[in-house]
Chains A and B, each alone.
Chain A
Amino acid sequence: MADTTSSVDTEDYIAIQRFPYAEAALLDRRAFQEWFALFTDDIRYVVTTQVARPAQDPTSQFAIIDEDHNALKMRVDQISDPNLTHAENPPTMTRRLVSNVEAYYGERNGVFEAQSNILLYASRPGEPETALHAGERQDTLIRDSNGFRIDKRTVNLAQAVLTSGTLSQLL
């Protein structure tokens, strides 16, 4: 968890807030390779769901994806090529809504800890029901001359069972 005493100043906040908007736009127009280029080579990309336990117990999140650059690249390559995917061909129609952005200064200059909420709306062709996935996103961002890169991303989905099937979309 980021140190919440070190909120970034307004100028940095606006830049950091814009970043997930641009990122969501890339994913929604299926520019997956451009999206993947936003990650550092050291990326760790984690998505979790929860075990529903009694309220007295600590929250029990566990990874359903925990990937490095190579593994994530293969996942991105697979859904980027229409000949290599069934789950994303025809394409899932998606909208990603990102909100509740908070940002803090990270461990060194140029590093930021950002939090946001993401709501993914996904409609599969031929499926009568649409899927909604809501999650809390925690990112470690590194700023370089080209803007921000994502060095670590954790998405904690507010679900114990993925009720609309396997998840082929990126978060």
Chain B
Amino acid sequence: MENNATGWVDSERGLVSRDAFISDEVYRLEMERIFNRSWIYLAHETEIPNIGDYVVRTLGNAPVIVVRDTADSVKVLLNSCRHRGAKLCRGDAGNTKNFVCPFHGWAYEIDGALRTTGFDHHFREDTDFGSMGLVPAPNVESFHGLIFANWDKNAITLRDYLGDIGWYLETFFNRTPGGMEVLAPPHRWRTKANWKIGSLNFIGDSQHSPTTHIGPSTLDSARTIRDGFRKHGQDSFHVVTDEGHGCTLTYLTPGMPEKNYHTHPDALKPLYEKSLNTDQVSMLHHLRVCVGTIFPNLSFIESQVGAGEKAVSVRLWHPVSGTEMEVLSWVFAEKEADQDYKDRVLRNGFHNFGAVGVFEQDDMELWASATSASSNPIAQQYPYSFQTALPYLDSPAEDHKWPGRAHRPADTEVAQFWFMQRWDALMRTNES
């Protein structure tokens, strides 16, 4: 591949080749060098609370079943029969006692072990049926209910992979003893845009907010957002951590009035204090919006918009090709919250973000237009600009007490370029 040696990212000039955002060859390499070697988010444990519950997702570009087995542990199994490859599960979710292939009848336990081919007596006597179970992902781990898997059997642990970003994730997903729960199945939609645009948008693209989201940021019912955009920069910052993760925190200046804490139900606040440390609680007190990306394609946002409930939502930017992704979008609330609050969080979450969200509809329109207009040899000669990262890359904030490296102000492209540099480094590694 022509960019293999030099990479796609020009760190001196703050530029990234458009090829990275449209090419199917790049997509193929991403599967090999990133998606089949990184920890990829699949599901939340509350989507499969009971033994035998499963959801069907994709790990890299391989269809997988995420199932809670009889030992109450989560297994990730390739959704393809060891005999002739048919899918064991052709829907998206269900509950089962076993997996039976509809093609010729090979039957598996829910942990993936082969129970019978139905024709065991026709196999040679030395056949090792024990090795003929459904192909398991060798590494499956949860972080406060967030289930990740990794095809690479030599992978570092999930905790090590998340590193410092874990501190921030904890604040959103482990802030009560019961943890968070998914409030509805994920919204799913296809968008003809490269998946990285989603990851970049969430890791720290404050510059897009006032223009892309001119609608919600102008209309009265979202006045908080408009005011937030105007003040962006001085009291907000990006955080970047190893492995290419990062997030953007708005309204977090020390000493600011704790005006954002009132949107959390009073009943939950003592629980936060029980589960989080003082710094994490302090962050919740001040925070208006936190939006971030776990490399490569998991994003999360906690935002206070509209009526005021802080919807925590999670987005997965699943690559379908160089120019198309499928998006999955979940909304979460604290398990201990009352049903009325959960309902409001869910409705508010859908209204803003999701398959018909007033924010997301404009994002998708413009991301697709960027991908479409870049998919030609003339446009490909002109790289994308991330130049507003450059003056800030080497000057992290020195007063940041929390994990990760912070950069002010928050309306630069530092976090996005951080992501692209990590992406570029992985894409240039050749060892398999």
Where the two chains meet, the residues of A that have a C-beta atom closer than 8 Å to any C-beta of B are 47, 49, 51-54, 57, 60, 62-67, 70-71, 73-75, 77-79, 81, 83-87, 124, 126-127, 160-168
> In whole angstroms, how far apart are the Cα atoms of A84 and B64 in the complex?
41
Question: A161 vs B327: C-alpha distance in the bound complex, in angstroms?
Answer: 9
Q: Are A87 and B351 in contact, with the CB atoms below 8 A?
A: no
Contact partner, B368, options A57, A160, A163, A165, Cβ 8 Å: A165
B188 and A160 form a contact (CB under 8 A) = yes
Check B219 against A63 for contact (C-beta < 8 Å): no
**Which residue in chain A gives the minimum CB-CB distance to B221?**
A74
Q: Does B257 contact A (CB under 8 A)?
A: no
- B191 on the A face (CB < 8 A): yes
Q: Which residue of B190, B347, B351 contacts A165 across the interface (Cβ within 8 Å)?
A: B190
| Interface residue ranges, B against A (CB under 8 Å) | 91-94, 184-185, 187-192, 212, 214-216, 218-219, 221-222, 306, 326, 346-347, 350-351, 354-358, 360-362, 364-366, 368-369, 372
Find B356's partner among A60, A85, A127, A167 (CB 8 Å cutoff): A167
Given known contacts A70-B221, A86-B362, A87-B364, A166 and B215 CB-to-CB distance under 8 angstroms: no
* Subset of 29 A-B contacts with CB under 8 Å: A49-B188, A51-B92, A51-B185, A60-B93, A60-B185, A63-B184, A64-B187, A64-B350, A64-B354, A71-B221, A74-B216, A74-B221, A74-B358, A75-B351, A78-B358, A86-B212, A86-B214, A86-B366, A87-B364, A124-B365, A126-B369, A162-B189, A162-B190, A165-B191, A165-B192, A166-B189, A166-B191, A166-B357, A167-B361
Q: Are A163 and B190 touching (Cβ within 8 A)? A: yes
| Residue pair B361, A62 in contact (C-beta under 8 Å) | no
Indicate whether A78 sits within 8 Å of B355 (C-beta atoms), given known contacts A51-B185, A53-B94, A126-B372. no
Beyond A63-B347, A74-B216, list 8 extra A-B contacts (CB 8 Å): A51-B93, A62-B185, A78-B358, A86-B214, A87-B361, A164-B190, A165-B365, A166-B361
B369 to chain A, nearest CB (A): 7
Report chain A residues within 8 Å CB of B351: 65, 67, 71, 74-75
Residues of chain A contacted by B94 (CB below 8 angstroms): 53-54, 57
Docked complex Cα distance between A47 and B216 (Å): 20
Query: What chain B residues lie within 8 Å of A164 (beta carbons)?
Result: 190
| Residues of chain B lying within 8 A (CB to CB) of residue A57 | 94
The answer on a CB contact under 8 Å between A63 and B350 is yes
Is A166's CB under 8 angstroms from B93's CB?
no
**With a CB–CB cut-off of 8 A, which chain A residues contact B190?**
161-165
B-chain residues with CB within 8 Å of residue A49 when the two chains form the complex: 187-188, 355
Tell me the smallest distance from the CB of A171 to a CB of chain B, in Å: 10
Once the chains are docked, how many angstroms separate the CA of A165 from the CA of B215? 19
**Chain B residue at smallest Cβ distance from A81:** B215
Chain A residues lying within 8 Å of B189, measured Cβ to Cβ, are: 161-163, 165-167
**A53 with B214: in contact, given A62-B185, A67-B351 (CB under 8 Å)?**
no
A101–B362 CA distance with the chains assembled, in angstroms: 33
> In whole Å, how far is A110's beta carbon from the nearest beta carbon of chain B?
29
Chain B residues, CB < 8 A from A161: 188-190, 326
CA distance A60 to B189 in the complex (A): 17
Chain B residues contacting A127 (CB-CB under 8 Å) are: 192, 368
Judge whether A66 and B362 touch: CB under 8 Å: no
A6 to B101, CA, bound (A): 46
User: CB within 8 A of B219: which of A52, A66, A84, A86?
Assistant: A84
B365 touches A86 (CB 8 A): yes
Nearest chain-B residue to A54 (Cβ)?
B94
Candidates A53, A63, A83, A162; contact of B91 at CB < 8 Å: A53
CA distance A53 to B216 in the complex (A): 35
Q: How far is the CA of A67 from the CA of B348 in the complex (A)?
A: 9
Which residues of chain B have C-beta atoms less than 8 A from A66's C-beta? Answer: 346-347, 350
- Give Cα distance in the complex from A76 to B291, angstroms: 27
Contact A84 B91, CB 8 Å, known A62-B184, A166-B360: no
Which of A54, A64, A166 has the most C-beta atoms of chain B within 10 angstroms of its own C-beta? A166
**Distance to closest chain A CB from B152 (angstroms):** 28
**A168–B92 touching, CB < 8 Å:** no
Q: Which residue of B lies closest to A161 (CB)?
A: B188
Chain A residues with CB below 8 A from B212, complex form: 86
Contacts of A84 in B (CB 8 A): 214-215, 218-219
A51 to B185, CA, bound (A): 7
Q: A51-B92, A163-B190 given as contacts; is B219 within 8 A of A78 (CB)? A: yes
Closest chain A residue to B211, Cβ basis:
A86
A161 to chain B, nearest CB (A): 4
Residues in chain A near residue B222, CB distance under 8 A: 74
B87 CB to nearest chain A CB (Å): 12
Closest Cβ–Cβ distance, residue A29 to chain B (whole Å): 20
Decide if B347 touches A71 in the complex (CB within 8 Å): yes
Looking at the assembled complex, report how far the CB atom of A34 sits from the nearest CB atom of chain B, in whole angstroms.
19
Q: Do A87 and B326 form a contact, CB below 8 Å, given A49-B187, A54-B91, A160-B188? A: no
- Name the A residues within 8 Å of B215 (CB-CB): 78-79, 81, 84-85
CB neighbours (8 Å) of B369 from chain A are 126
Report whether B362 and A85 are in contact in the complex, using a CB–CB cutoff of 8 Å: yes
- Which residues in A have their C-beta under 8 angstroms from that of B184? 62-63
Q: How far is the CA of A69 from the CA of B409 in the complex (A)?
A: 38
Instruction: Tell me the smallest distance from the CB of B320 to a CB of chain A, in Å.
Output: 11
A165, B355: Cα distance in complex, Å: 8
